[in-house]
Structure 1
Amino acid sequence: FDSAGLDPGKPILFHAGGPGLATAAIQLAKKMGCTVITTVGSNDKIDKAKALGADHVINYREDRFEGVVRKLTKKKGVDVVFEHVGADTFAGSMLSLKRGGRLVTCGSTSGVSTQVNLMQLFQQQLKLLGSFGCRMENMANAMQKMAAGLVAPVIDTEVGFDDIDAALKRMEGRDVFGKIILRVS
């Protein structure tokens, strides 16, 4: 979050508001005073994402998220997009950014390769940042923010070893809100 330059009141977009990464990010961004927009893949996740602090929730299977984001921001776009989906949402994420906005990519669940519109990149003065975790010097700050603002990690289900296949199918089907915890004993 620190390198993304989040400011209170500024709009931010998180993709896939149901998995564990986004559920924590929504809470942290809201605690920092951001206007939080997130995408989800089903209507049953909308109220759950709002309960975590999302101001606006877009079902990307029903609406083109980039169009809704542009409407919500009065055609200005968001300051930051946290992009961890990858190829399926990358172009729309860039369209969702305001001039000078930042796209932070930290995952590629829908594919590792995509195309970038270079004219859009330089005309809009966009910044693309890759993130592969947190540097140790940022860890204390992140933990303090989490302790001060997170309700608790969002747990979808707990499963034993016998139920791993079913849990993986739920993940693949994007039928999860929060983390799936594997019980060892």
Structure 2
Amino acid sequence: MNIAILNTGCANLTSIQVAIKKLGYTSTVTSDSSVVLKSKKVILPGVGTASTAMKKLNKKNLITTLKQLTQPILGICLGMQIFSQFSEECQGVKTIGIFKNCFTYLLKSSNLPLPHMGWNHIVFNHVHPLFKNIEKKQRFYFVHSYFIPLNKYTLATTTYDISFSSVMQKNNFFGVQFHPEKSGDAGSQLLKNFLEM
């Protein structure tokens, strides 16, 4: 299976590759549109800022490529947030607009410390292939200061003073706010489920 990990220049690419390799798959870190378009699965990881990631994606002409994808693509943390329409980060950043939502600074809604860092539960009320063999209210590892509110694309929620979208889907676009590659057995299972859908 051809698995492409998009090289945004600001992501934890090695951690994702290692997690995929442990599942028995190989992956390619790439910013080549032709490689991405031919891949069976695509992963958009994210550690950093939306403005930096969008500049990198624009510079590498990957925005149009992402919007053209028909195969499953998984956005991780910042990767999921980039699927939204707009970020409040850095006085506002236009993102790619798959999900017609904006991602918002947690401090506006929460009185808890930021970033939201550490283990927290996801709650899913939908039967979905992405959650196969994962217990309800399973814990995953989060590191973020921005969130996407609950909306019609939300598959799972997490509460950090407020409830926010921790898993989303629109057609072939999947997003997780947490880091499955840092989330132990449950994270490995979720990656496996995505790769085998």
**Normalised-by-shorter TM-score class:** 0.3 to 0.5
Greater share of helix: 1
Query: TM-score normalized by structure 2?
Result: 0.36
Query: TM-score normalized by structure 1?
Result: 0.37
Greater share of strand: 2
